[in-house]
Amino acid sequence: MLFRSYKKAKVIFEKHQCEPRLTILNIKYATFKSLNNEIPKAISILLELQKLPNLNTNMRSTIYHNLAEMYLCNEQTALASIYYKKAYCVEPDINTGFSYAWCIYKLNQPKSKVLSVIRQVKKSKDIRDGFWYLCEWLRCIIVHEKDSHLHLLEKASTYFKDNQEIYFIHELMMYECLRMNNYDACLSHALSLLNDQTVFKSIPPKS
């Protein structure tokens, strides 16, 4: 049903040359594909969309951000980092900035580079929110790597309501527990995710 509706709308927008609306439609369709675990198809759609010459800032940022999320879900961290950086350069925000910093940290890039990105990202955000605390956590595990900084993740978690973001916070908490060799706490976080009856989607793309 949804596919038929998509095809009908696509034909109408193509007939009347409504390129911005057609682009939005295809971004939404890629989101639908990713949420149904058809990530390669969703990536293919977005890779074609990014080639369009007349994308506005929001569209281009959204396409780059969603590509990064999908590559990260596929554990293609290097590709994810490329598109997070592109998205951040087009439309800087602390969410994308943290994600970029986290990717290059996981890729074992120089700590000085990660810290530089974090400093730049935090400057763009005066108000402390969940992603501000995530940036601070990432900075601390680099600068004070022998200490536990779980309290910063716990603080960050109080700002998040979206299921996928909560899931991500638990994953970071598991990472922090493993980093400190606290295997019992890591197991506890893992079990809390397995016991949660909420169905977590693979991707939370920007709509």
Q: Which residue has the higher pLDDT, 77 or 128?
A: 77
**C-beta of residue 169 within 8 angstroms of C-beta of residue 131:** no
Q: What is the pLDDT of residue 194?
A: 75
The first and second tokens of residue 72, run together, are 């990260």
Least Cα distance to 102 among 127, 124, 72 occurs for: 72
Mean pLDDT of 13-26: 74
State mean pLDDT over 5-9.
62
Single-letter residue type at 177? C
The arithmetic mean of pLDDT across residues 64-76, rounded, is 95
Residues 6+ apart with CB under 8 A from 12: 18
Cα(207)–Cα(205) distance, integer angstroms? 6
**Using 50, 70 and 90 to split pLDDT, how confident is the model at 164?**
confident
**10: how many CB neighbours lie within 10 A of its CB?**
15
- Per-residue pLDDT band for 91 (boundaries 50, 70, 90) equals very high
Contact 83, 68 (CB under 8 A): yes
At 197, the pLDDT band (50, 70, 90 cuts) reads very low
What residues contact 152, with CB distance under 8 A and at least 6 apart?
133, 134, 136, 137, 140
Contact between 43 and 67 (Cβ < 8 Å): yes
Contacts by residues 29-38 (CB-CB < 8 Å, ≥ 24 positions apart): 30/66, 30/205, 31/66, 31/203, 31/205, 31/207, 32/2, 32/6, 34/66, 34/69, 34/70, 34/73, 34/202, 34/203, 34/205, 35/201, 35/202, 35/203, 37/202
What one-letter code names the amino acid at 51? K
Average pLDDT over residues 155-175: 89
**Residue 199's pLDDT band (boundaries 50, 70, 90)?**
very low
